[in-house]
Structure 1
Amino acid sequence: MSSQFRELLKKVGSGQHTKEDLTRTEAAMATKMMLLGEATAAQIGAFMIAHRIKRIAPQELAGMLDAYDELGPKLYPENEQEKTVMVFGIPYDGRSRTAPISPLTALILTCAGVGVIMHGGDTMPTKYGVPLIQLWQGLGLDFAQLSLEQVQELLKNSGLGFVYLPKHFPNADGLTPYRDQIGKRPPLATLELIWSPYQGKMHLVTGYVHPPTEVLFRETLKLRELTIPFTFVKGLEGSCDLRLSQTTIVAASSVNAPNGFEYLKLHPHEYGIDDKEMPLGSISELLSQMEALIEGKPSRLEQAAVWNGGFYLWRYGVCADLSIGLETARELLSSGKVAKKREEIRAAIP
């Protein structure tokens, strides 16, 4: 048993009236001890559930990210002039109700010359939804066996990189079983949304469900002194996917806004997008619809892919406004350029 970890556990788990937030240094220490297995299984499980009940504070999230930065995998830009990369923070436990389309968004972006990094693991508690790695594999792009050096090379050559926890960050993946055992998402699930393995210029994109989480993200970035462009999306099931059937609220960094960010309210009907989310049925059906769209055939995912692809092309700065972004996304899909990009990425995978 770690006596040092026990003291940190006592702070967060002492009850409603005596609980305390950890300092940034303490949170980093606790996270490192969990990742390195220096805390016992009983201590780790108790810490996760106690920390969830207490609710994570900005300085604690900053400290946890410090530990991930120290121990986790890292991808680097080729040079100081390297373009900004979009890093997507998508819930590791996936989606269970609506069809995810983030791989299509990534292909549209890379097709337009935007570098994209995603990260995640296998099927994960507590939702046990479809993980990103499974969707990429179903599209013929298997990142699971790549070394970190090969991911770095793939990012350089194709503009797309995927950090796969079981292969590239086994210490973090080793904490996954605790999610099932405690039956709740621990604060690590919040960390994963805002964590980035990229060490260069980035545009951070992440989804969230509850408004306080978006505030937590902004405060954490300030503590870490990260003045980076960000796009925080109140998306489908906490993902980065914009909604089709209703307005999506987005907290978007803006150099022109007094506080450095603004809230966007995106109404798809105002841009001629008139559709509903595709329910998530079988994975084979989802992949079939993705494949059809990539190949330029009719697909139930077309409107969702155009809406999301166009939005992120605009947010990155490829397109001057959202309307042009939508037109560009639609053209990239219909012209076969996205299909060609997929084949280019497939050819670059060893």
Structure 2
Amino acid sequence: MSKAFRELLKKVGSGNHTGENLTRSEAAAATKMMLLAEATPAQIGAFMIAHRIKRPTGEELAGMLDAYYELGPKLQPKKSSNSPVIVMGIPYDGRSRTAPINPITALILTSAGVPVIMHGGDRMPTKEGIPLIEIWQGLGIDWTKLSLTETQQIFESTGLGFIYLPNHFTLGAGLVPYRDQIGKRPPFATMELIWCPYAGDAHIISGFVHPPTENMFRGALETRGFPYYLTTIKGLEGSCDLPRERTAIIGIIKQNTELQRLHLSHNDYGFSNINPPLPPTTNELITQIESVLKGEPSEIMQSAIWNGAFYLWHCGICPTMEAGIAVTKEIINNNNAAQKLEEIRGAIAALQLAYKT
């Protein structure tokens, strides 16, 4: 048993009257002790559920991020790109109700020259929804077989990278079973949405569900005091996917500036109010995504255009949302997104062939 960890556990687990928030350095120390298994399983589980009940502060999330930045993996900046890198913070436990659009968005952005980094793992408690890794596998891109060095090479050559926890951050993956054992998302699930496994300055785009989470995000990044550009999306199932059944609520936060609020209504741009549902099987979802890349009309195509247009506009590729819609349609209809998918497949195949020979 770690006596040092027990003291930190007592602070967060003592209840409303005597409990205390951790300082940034204490939160970092506690996170490191959990990642390195210096705390016992009983202590780790108790900390996670106590911290969830208490709710983390921005300062505590900053300390947790400190530990992840110290012990976790980082992709290095691309030498051949001047465009800011987009890091998407998407819940690790996946989707269970609506069709994920973000892999298509990533292909659209990288087709337009905007580098994208995603991160996550396998099926994960508590939702056990379809994770990003399975969607990419269905599209013929298996990030699970790549080392961090190989992922860096793919990121450098194609503009798309994926940090896969079980391979690239085994310490982080070691905390996943606790999510099932405590039956709730721990505060780590919040912190992961603003974790940036990238060594350069990035534009972090984080999905959220509950409004207080957005304030926690900002508090954490302001506490850490490094240059940042954060966009928050009240997206589908907490993801970065813009909804269509309601107005999309977006927060834009740059260092030393006030939060700017953006509201986008599907009606204003000629889209219906339908969010494509998650199909019964992964194969059906892959078929739907491939149909978008082929330019075939559908509801998921409409969501792909809606999201692609926003991100191209928001990342500075297009001057207006209307221009973003036109450029997204052009990228899809000219097979640019499909060609980007083939480019990534080919780069991975060539890399694996080179290692075999």
**What is the CA deviation profile of residues 264-306 of structure 1, one whole-angstrom value per residue up to 9, with x for unaligned ones?**
1110110111240111122221111001111222333111000
The corresponding residue for 1:262 is 260
Code of the residue aligned with 2:259 in structure 1: it is: F
Counterparts of residues 301-312 of structure 1 (less than 5 Å):
301-312=300-311
1:253 Cα shift?
A: 3.0
The corresponding residue for 1:300 is 299
Could you tell me how far apart the structure 2 residues matched to 1:184 and 1:75 are? 30
Could you tell me how far apart the structure 2 residues matched to 1:66 and 1:128 are? 27
The corresponding residue for 1:130 is 130
Counterparts of residues 123-272 of structure 1 (less than 5 Å):
123-253=123-253, 259-272=257-270
Could you tell me how far apart the structure 2 residues matched to 1:254 and 1:7 are? 36
Listed as ranges, the gaps of 5+ residues in structure 2 are 352-357
The corresponding residue for 2:354 is none
Contact 2:102/2:240 (CA < 8 Å) preserved in 1? Answer: yes
Could you tell me how far apart the structure 1 residues matched to 2:164 and 2:153 are? 15
Number of matched residues? Answer: 348
Code of the residue aligned with 1:310 in structure 2: it is: A
Contact 2:31/2:64 (CA < 8 Å) preserved in 1? Answer: yes
1:166 Cα shift?
A: 0.3
Shift in CA distance, 78/254, structure 1 to aligned 2, threshold 3 Å: closer
Could you tell me how far apart the structure 1 residues matched to 2:257 and 2:149 are? 39
The corresponding residue for 1:327 is 326
Contact 1:289/1:300 (CA < 8 Å) preserved in 2? Answer: no
1:171 Cα shift?
A: 0.7
The corresponding residue for 1:86 is 86
Contact 2:79/2:156 (CA < 8 Å) preserved in 1? Answer: no
SS in 1 for 2:18: coil
Could you tell me how far apart the structure 1 residues matched to 2:59 and 2:243 are? 31
Contact 1:290/1:299 (CA < 8 Å) preserved in 2? Answer: no
1:15 Cα shift?
A: 1.1
Code of the residue aligned with 1:274 in structure 2: it is: S
Could you tell me how far apart the structure 2 residues matched to 1:81 and 1:128 are? 36
Could you tell me how far apart the structure 1 residues matched to 2:157 and 2:244 are? 33
Code of the residue aligned with 2:289 in structure 1: it is: M
Could you tell me how far apart the structure 1 residues matched to 2:177 and 2:48 are? 12
1:80 Cα shift?
A: 10
SS in 2 for 1:16: helix
Return 245-254 or 126-135, whichever deviates more: 245-254
Could you tell me how far apart the structure 2 residues matched to 1:120 and 1:81 are? 24
The corresponding residue for 2:345 is 346
Contact 1:83/1:201 (CA < 8 Å) preserved in 2? Answer: no
Return 158-167 or 77-86, whichever deviates more: 77-86
Code of the residue aligned with 1:322 in structure 2: it is: M
Code of the residue aligned with 2:42 in structure 1: it is: A
The corresponding residue for 1:22 is 22
**What is the CA deviation profile of residues 18-54 of structure 1, one whole-angstrom value per residue up to 9, with x for unaligned ones?**
1100010000000000000000000000000000000
Match of 1:276 among 274, 280, 290: 274
The corresponding residue for 1:120 is 120
Could you tell me how far apart the structure 2 residues matched to 1:12 and 1:254 are? 31
Return 267-276 or 12-21, whichever deviates more: 267-276
Could you tell me how far apart the structure 1 residues matched to 2:45 and 2:250 are? 33
Shift in CA distance, 275/35, structure 1 to aligned 2, threshold 3 Å: same
Could you tell me how far apart the structure 1 residues matched to 2:263 and 2:193 are? 21
1:81 Cα shift?
A: 7.2
Could you tell me how far apart the structure 1 residues matched to 2:116 and 2:11 are? 39
CA RMSD of aligned residues (A): 1.4
Could you tell me how far apart the structure 2 residues matched to 1:271 and 1:174 are? 45
1:231 Cα shift?
A: 1.1
1:326 Cα shift?
A: 1.2
Contact 2:78/2:155 (CA < 8 Å) preserved in 1? Answer: no
1:83 Cα shift?
A: 2.9
Could you tell me how far apart the structure 2 residues matched to 1:310 and 1:345 are? 22
Q: Give percent identity, aligned residues only.
A: 58
Give TM-score, length-normalised by structure 1. 0.97
1:248 Cα shift?
A: 1.0
Could you tell me how far apart the structure 1 residues matched to 2:39 and 2:276 are? 43
Could you tell me how far apart the structure 1 residues matched to 2:266 and 2:236 are? 14
Could you tell me how far apart the structure 2 residues matched to 1:308 and 1:245 are? 13
Shift in CA distance, 173/332, structure 1 to aligned 2, threshold 3 Å: same
Listed as ranges, the gaps of 5+ residues in structure 1 are none
Contact 2:154/2:160 (CA < 8 Å) preserved in 1? Answer: yes
SS in 1 for 2:16: coil
Shift in CA distance, 307/80, structure 1 to aligned 2, threshold 3 Å: closer
Could you tell me how far apart the structure 1 residues matched to 2:336 and 2:79 are? 27
1:137 Cα shift?
A: 0.5
